[in-house]
Amino acid sequence: MPLQRFIVERDIPKIGDLDSRQLKAAAIKSNEVLRQLGPDIQWVESYIADNKLFCVYLATNEDLIRQHAHVSGYPATKIIPIHRMIDPTTAQSSVGPVPLGHVL
């Protein structure tokens, strides 16, 4: 089954206050659980806010992400499947002209 991209929102009080050693320990723990779960789930990157952690994962399904959250102890408050992506280079894509005044 192909891997799908997900954004995982985690409510973790004071996550933004953790120091480099604490973040390293968290990453080690997460990686250990990922190894246990196998190749159908991958952690891509995470973004740290004051009381939230936003993680990008590739996985075959949401259940694997829930398993990772349960075993690692890092709660998955929301799991959001990503259907498409855009970035600044999308403006140069070859889909043809966009009508003037077009709004999303």
Q: What is the 3-state secondary structure (H, E, C) of 55-68?
A: EEEEECCHHHHHHH
Domain count, the chain: 1
**By the 8 A CB rule, do 1 and 60 touch?**
yes
- Show the domain range for 24: 4-84
pTM, 2 dp: 0.86
Judge contact between 63 and 47, C-beta under 8 A: no
Which residues fall within 8 angstroms of residue 62, CB to CB, at 6 or more apart? Answer: 6, 79, 81
**Residue 101 pLDDT class (50, 70, 90 cuts):** low
What kind and span of H or E run contains 44? strand 41-48
Domain-located, residue 22: yes
Amino acid making up residue 61: N
What integer pLDDT is reported at residue 1 of this predicted model?
A: 83
User: What value does the mean pLDDT take over residues 5-22?
Assistant: 96
Tens digit of each residue's pLDDT (9 = 90 or more) over 24-77: 999 999 999 999 999 999 999 999 999 999 999 999 999 999 999 999 999 999
Domain of 66: which CATH number? 3.30.70.3090
Which residues in 25-40 are b (16+ Cβ under 10 Å) and which e? ebeeebeebbeebeee
